[in-house]
């Protein structure tokens, strides 16, 4: 048994009873605090789709093509190509020089250039960096034992075979071949395959402030956290800076866990994904519990929730016929499976059709997977198109019917960001089509209520020094001036509360709930 290692002022690493190593709290960690911050992850690079729009070092995004709502999150950034390879871009000479000297672009530039106009996939680019770094690493050079000590599960990958193993071999072989053009160093395929396995098990998606994936990150300390489907912490990105923040109070010496996957899925789907991607059987508190809140269905007679482990409504005793229930659950599974396929049709048309078919069963509430994801994907598509009213209706449905169940703390970072997006979309509606919602809402009050909710939670969700907190503060100031609020007194009264808790907003909340009920009603009737 190795001795514990301090990972940050609040967390230490030690051997875990059943999961290799794990991270534990050094003292009580209060909810909404930073546990770990890594300013310079070993690897943090854009994926293929974002090579043209993200700085290859700091991950800043170019603003040119973003819609007005997405621009609210970003400072103005212009990117220029590396003139050597013309594949990667930078926002400044400093980023370019750091990437060149410290992050291996000096070595990989010639490899990228030889492949141009073909662009290497993000996994191939990442394993080249890992391999290069591995050569200069000694076991004691880093507190977690470096790349050598990262779990690879290589035998499990080989044993499970299939497409993933094929891809590991193909990527490693092709990358080894490509690396030969470098005069500095080239690699064997088998060694690169080992790097590939380590990458897949230990890396995380880099996400924007709106949680859209833009790249891949490998940070030693970040890779030490084990998974739970009901985690007490979350990984966030601010550009290339990775942080882990607590979602709940974590008692001294308790394990700190994050979620590796999109955990808004059914238990069966979560367990299958974790087994196939990370090679373990999840036995977290949620997977071991009889109650699966997301898998509750809705009673067609009294509209109350029916728990996931029964087909009988506890409120009115109505029984849902088992065959009907099986058919509905199979439909939900098939929508999820089709969406997760490679080259799946991700169009808004299909998402809307799927959403209507799920609601059309009348048995599935807005929280049942994959309904929340479909609403979110549709909102994102409509924001990109500038279709504010449709984006608003989907985001508002999530705000009213989904977030209180799936993110049961008001400072959950995803909930805070989505609420901010809802406020930004509301601004667009107020400008473009204020009569478009049917119900006349007081835009000023609702907007101010949403923003104060975000403003009051951002310290806990993201930290006061984060770029997102800065974006929120700026927007709050702008809106206060626009709507003629010149003191903080009124804002303070509302601070941190949800719309529902703000005095004087009950009427507006009632109207919003009615808008959502009518909207879901139209989706149910196809």
Ligand X SMILES: C[S@@+](CC[C@H](N)C(=O)[O-])C[C@H]1O[C@@H](n2cnc3c(N)ncnc32)[C@H](O)[C@@H]1O
Residues that bind ligand X (CB under 6 A): 18-22, 151, 153, 201-202, 223-224, 226-227, 278-280, 282, 284
Alpha carbon of residue 506 to chain centroid: 32
Round to whole Å and give the CA distance between 372 and 402: 7
Q: Is the peptide bond before 370 cis (omega within 30 degrees of 0)?
A: yes
SS3 string, 361-382, reads CCCCCCCCCCHHHHHHHHHHHH
Which stretches of 57-134 are assigned E, i.e. beta strand? 80-81, 89-90
Nearer to ligand X, 21 or 462 (CB): 21
User: Which residue, judged by CB position, is nearest to ligand X in the bound state?
Assistant: 20
Q: Residue 110's beta-bridge partner residues?
A: none
| Closest distance of CB 488 from ligand X, Å | 43
Q: Kindly state the tokens that stand for 350.
A: 């299909």
Q: Taking the complex as a whole, how short is the minimal distance between the CB of residue 160 and ligand X, in angstroms?
A: 12
Cβ contacts of 417 within 8 Å, gap of 6 or more: 209, 210, 211, 461, 468
Query: What sign results for the dihedral spanned by CA atoms 297, 303, 304, 306?
Result: negative
Minimum CB distance to ligand X, residue 238 (Å): 21
| Per-residue exposure over 56-66, b if at least 16 CB sit within 10 Å of its own CB, e if not | bbbbbbbbeeb
- For residue 30, CA distances in Å to 42, 70, 249, 407 come to 28, 32, 4, 17
Residue with smaller CB distance to ligand X, 165 or 280:
280
**Phi, psi of 24, rounded to the nearest 5 degrees:** -130, 155
Choose between 2 and 138: whose C-beta lies nearer to ligand X.
2
Find the shortest distance in angstroms from Cβ 339 to ligand X.
24
Smallest distance from the beta carbon of 87 to ligand X, in angstroms? 29
182 vs 202, which CB is nearer to ligand X?
A: 202
Our CB check for ligand X shows the closer of 149 and 331 to be: 149
Q: What minimum distance in Å lies between the beta carbon of 14 and ligand X?
A: 10
Nearer to ligand X, 186 or 205 (CB): 205
For ligand X, the closer of residues 150 and 358 by Cβ is 150
Q: How far is the CB of 130 from ligand X (least distance, A)?
A: 14
CA 152, CA 201: separation in Å to the nearest integer? 7
């Amino acid at each position: 048994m190795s001795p514990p290692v301090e990972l940050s002022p609040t967390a230490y690493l030690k051997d875990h009873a059943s999961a290799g190593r794990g991270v534990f709290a050094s003292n009580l960690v209060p909810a909404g605090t930073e546990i770990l911050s890594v300013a310079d992850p070993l690897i943090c690079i854009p994926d293929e789709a974002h090579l043209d729009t993200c700085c290859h070092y700091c991950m800043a995004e170019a603003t040119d093509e973003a819609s007005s709502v997405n621009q609210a999150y970003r400072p103005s950034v212009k990117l220029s190509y590396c003139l050597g390879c013309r594949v990667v871009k930078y926002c400044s000479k400093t980023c370019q020089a750091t990437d060149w000297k410290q992050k291996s672009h000096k070595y990989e530039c010639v490899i990228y250039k030889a492949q141009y106009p073909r662009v290497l996939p993000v996994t191939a680019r990442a394993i080249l960096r890992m391999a290069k770094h591995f050569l200069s690493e000694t076991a004691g050079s880093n507190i977690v034992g470096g790349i050598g000590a990262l779990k690879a599960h290589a035998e499990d990958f080989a044993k499970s075979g299939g497409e993933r193993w094929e891809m590991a071999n193909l990527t490693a072989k092709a990358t080894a071949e490509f690396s030969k053009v470098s005069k500095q160093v080239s690699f064997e395929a088998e060694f690169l395959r080992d790097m590939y396995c380590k990458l897949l098990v230990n890396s995380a998606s880099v996400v924007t402030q709106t949680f859209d994936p833009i790249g891949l990150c490998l940070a030693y300390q970040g890779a030490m956290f084990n998974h739970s489907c009901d985690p007490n912490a979350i990984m966030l990105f601010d550009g290339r800076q990775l942080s882990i923040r607590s979602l709940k109070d974590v008692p001294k010496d308790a394990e700190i866990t994050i979620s590796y996957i999109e955990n808004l899925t059914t238990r069966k789907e979560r367990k299958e994904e974790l087994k196939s991607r990370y090679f373990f059987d999840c036995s977290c508190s949620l997977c071991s519990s009889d109650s699966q809140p997301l898998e509750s269905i809705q009673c067609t007679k009294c509209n109350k929730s029916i728990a996931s482990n029964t087909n009988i409504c506890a409120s009115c005793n109505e029984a849902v016929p088992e065959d009907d229930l099986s058919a509905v659950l199979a439909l939900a599974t098939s929508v999820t499976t089709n969406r997760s396929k490679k080259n799946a049709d991700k169009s808004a048309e299909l998402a809307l059709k799927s959403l209507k078919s799920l609601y059309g069963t009348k048995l599935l509430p807005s929280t049942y997977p994959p309904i929340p994801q479909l609403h979110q994907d549709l909102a994102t598509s409509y924001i990109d198109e500038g279709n504010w009213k449709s984006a608003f209706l989907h985001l508002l449905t999530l705000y009213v019917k989904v977030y209180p169940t799936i993110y049961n703390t008001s400072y959950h970072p995803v909930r805070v960001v989505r609420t901010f997006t809802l406020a930004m979309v509301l601004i667009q509606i107020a400008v473009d089509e204020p009569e478009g919602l049917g119900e006349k809402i007081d835009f000023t009050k609702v907007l101010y209520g949403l923003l104060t909710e975000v403003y009051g939670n951002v310290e806990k969700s993201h930290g006061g020094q984060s770029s997102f907190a800065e974006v929120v503060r700026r927007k709050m100031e702008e809106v206060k001036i626009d709507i003629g609020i010149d003191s903080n007194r009124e804002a303070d009264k509302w601070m941190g509360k949800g719309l529902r808790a703000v005095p004087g907003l009950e009427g507006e909340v009632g109207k919003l709930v009615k808008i959502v009920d009518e909207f879901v009603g139209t989706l149910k009737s196809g």
